[in-house]
Structure 1
């Protein structure tokens, strides 16, 4: 299951990154927000590969932490860039996602 999820997260990271590079400027003009979008796509792509590794070595803790981390970190950034007023409540979710990503790496190291 995590192998498939990692592939889907990787594919969507490429698509969202391409949208950020080519279409987002039509919706968002703030360069800082565009940079945040790029960071979200970059972290999602890198951690999709990490999730592939975790799935291959059968590390269920890393699987969960990487999946949660990508969803919280990148997902909250995407939504905050698109509509910061509506999704302001997600601000604290971003660092929690980052902690999950860090935890995923630590769990992978301890396998």
Structure 2
């Protein structure tokens, strides 16, 4: 992982979150139950929150390229987004309840990402 790749992935996740939100609001509104639509929207919301954090991680990493903590945090956020939001998308679109087991793992990865970002902040120089 590099800062540039982190920024690119953050941008992709952000764009996909906007597209997913629009898709949910327009194409899925008549197709899903209110609960499934709410689940889908939660996935897009958390994806956007963490895409923005991933963008911040990349920008901070550019300022401190020798710190490994930004790499660790970026990986945790990426894994968290994929597992948390991805499982919510799958759950809402397919109705396969077993996917709900994956969601907390994604949440743990996101929390871990925040903890790693805190460590990175404490390791900043200047």
2:23 matches 1:19: yes
Question: 1:97, 1:81 → 2: CA distance?
Answer: 16
2:36 matches 1:33: yes
- Taking structure 2 as the reference length, what is the TM-score of the superposition? 0.81
Aligned length: 108
RMSD: 1.1
Provide structure 1 residue ranges, at least 5 long, that are not aligned to the other structure. none
Equivalent residue in structure 1 for 2:84, among 73, 78, 91: 73
Report what 1:99 is aligned to. Answer: 108
Equivalent residue in structure 1 for 2:72, among 47, 57, 61: 61
| Residue aligned with 2:29, SS | helix
How much does 1:56 deviate?
1.8
Provide structure 2 residue ranges, at least 5 long, that are not aligned to the other structure. 62-69, 121-126
